[in-house]
Amino acid sequence: MLVIFDVEGVLLNAEYLPVLSQIMGPEKEKEIWRITKQGIRGEINWEEGLKKRISALKGIRFEDAKRIAESLEIMPGAKELCFSLKKAGWRMIAVSGGFSIITDRLKGELGLDKIFCNELIFEDGVLVGLKLNVTSDKAAAVLPAIRNWGIDKSETVAIVDGANDLSLFDIAGYAVGFCPVERVKERSDEVLEIRDLSLMLNLLERKFGNAVLASTK
């Protein structure tokens, strides 16, 4: 069994770039939030929106970027869910349009098997650009690992919130929208509107039965 998580808004209870932009003042924060929300709702090309946001934040110091990344809250219930699924023998992947600076800690803290993400580029201690490893076609990033493990679509769960995550629903047998935008709700098999990932355990037990029961004992 496999679960694929989005990161910002799912495993992390925050959107990193809008929080980071606060150090540049309220007008910059407003600009970054506007582009971020447009991307999450699927109103603009996600890749172009990401590049635009990074361009607007150039010059931010690495120390500030790292400090803010480490301060982001883990989603309530995420540790309970991940530790329980790990105990039951599930594989867990996180795939993010965000950056290694925010995802690196999650592998250890949540016991994830693999993380796919983008990277911020710093030169002389300041932000200068972006290395794009994960596009809005997030499924393309994770499929090689899933095929290598030999996990079937019927055994795969995707938990996401934004329109830029929807390709993950195409490779999952069970699609869950977590406090999602409308486009995700329309494609979801199940929707959770409470920001507590431990509630997923009940949904998974109802869907997969014995494959989850070991995790709840």
Q: Which of 30, 51, 71 corresponds to the end of one domain? A: 71
Which structural domain range is residue 59 located in? 16-71
Whole-number pLDDT of residue 213: 58
> Which of 146, 132, 139, 125 lies closest to 66, judged by CA?
125
CATH code of the domain in which 67 resides: 1.10.150
If asked whether residues 124 and 93 sit together in one domain, one would say: yes
Whole-number pLDDT of residue 189: 98
If asked whether residues 84 and 49 sit together in one domain, one would say: no
| pLDDT per residue as tens digits for the range 114-135 | 999 999 999 999 999 999 999 9
If asked whether residues 79 and 158 sit together in one domain, one would say: yes
Q: How many domains does the chain have?
A: 2
What is d(CA 200, CA 80) in angstroms, rounded to the nearest whole number? 10
| pLDDT per residue as tens digits for the range 130-152 | 999 999 999 999 999 999 999 99
The whole-model pTM stands at: 0.93
CATH code of the domain in which 169 resides: 3.40.50.1000
> Which of 175, 174, 16, 13 lies closest to 79, judged by CA?
13
If asked whether residues 94 and 54 sit together in one domain, one would say: no
| pLDDT per residue as tens digits for the range 77-121 | 999 999 999 999 999 999 999 999 999 999 999 999 999 999 999
